[in-house]
Structure 1
Amino acid sequence: MQITPDDQITIPPEIREVLNISPDVELAFEIEGDRLYLKKIQPTDKISTWIDTMRGCAAGNLTTDQIMTFTRSHDNP
């Protein structure tokens, strides 16, 4: 494999097929020593990352019940 001038690599079709990697699958690189690993990000990983990112972002004095009422009222007009 080579890196393109745009700093991209192409995963060969055989590897994509074996690992069931399609264009919508998110991937992450992991480095251990002088080795580079490619890892599929599982949907639960994305949710955990989002929750960690959002933690502590809410402002205001709303109770959980008030937030749930507000959220549900917008989901079901």
Structure 2
Amino acid sequence: MRITTKGQVTIPREVREQMGFLPHSEVEFVIEGNVVYLRKGEGAQSRGKKLVERMRGRATVRMSTAEIMALTRGED
């Protein structure tokens, strides 16, 4: 694997899938001696939580899980 002139590398698909790196994921580099580690950034985990918190209480219709499942399945 080579680094481009812009300092970019491609993370192999297998690594992205195993680590859950999705497009726009936050990552960070950790240097320990002569080794560089790539890991999920702190913002990656809180991003979903922020979204859920922002959406909490915004629903206008109260439905049970069974009602939602019936609706998505097209059941009467």
Query: Shorter-normalised TM-score: what interval?
Result: 0.5 to 0.7
The Cα shift of 1:46 comes to: 6.8
| Map of 2:6 onto structure 1 | 6
Report the aligned-residue RMSD.
Answer: 2.3
Extract unaligned runs of 5+ from structure 2. Answer: 48-76
Alignment of 1:32-43 (within 5 A): 32-43=32-43
The Cα shift of 1:39 comes to: 1.0
**Match for 1:23: what amino acid?**
P
Alignment of 1:1-77 (within 5 A): 1-43=1-43
Partners of 1:18 and 1:45 in 2: CA distance: 16
**Match for 1:18: what amino acid?**
Q
User: What TM-score comes out, normalization by structure 1 length?
Assistant: 0.53
| Cα distance change on mapping 1:2 and 1:26 into 2, 3 Å | same
The Cα shift of 1:24 comes to: 1.8
Work out the number of aligned pairs and report it: 47
Extract unaligned runs of 5+ from structure 1. Answer: 48-77
Moved over 6 A (4+): 44-47
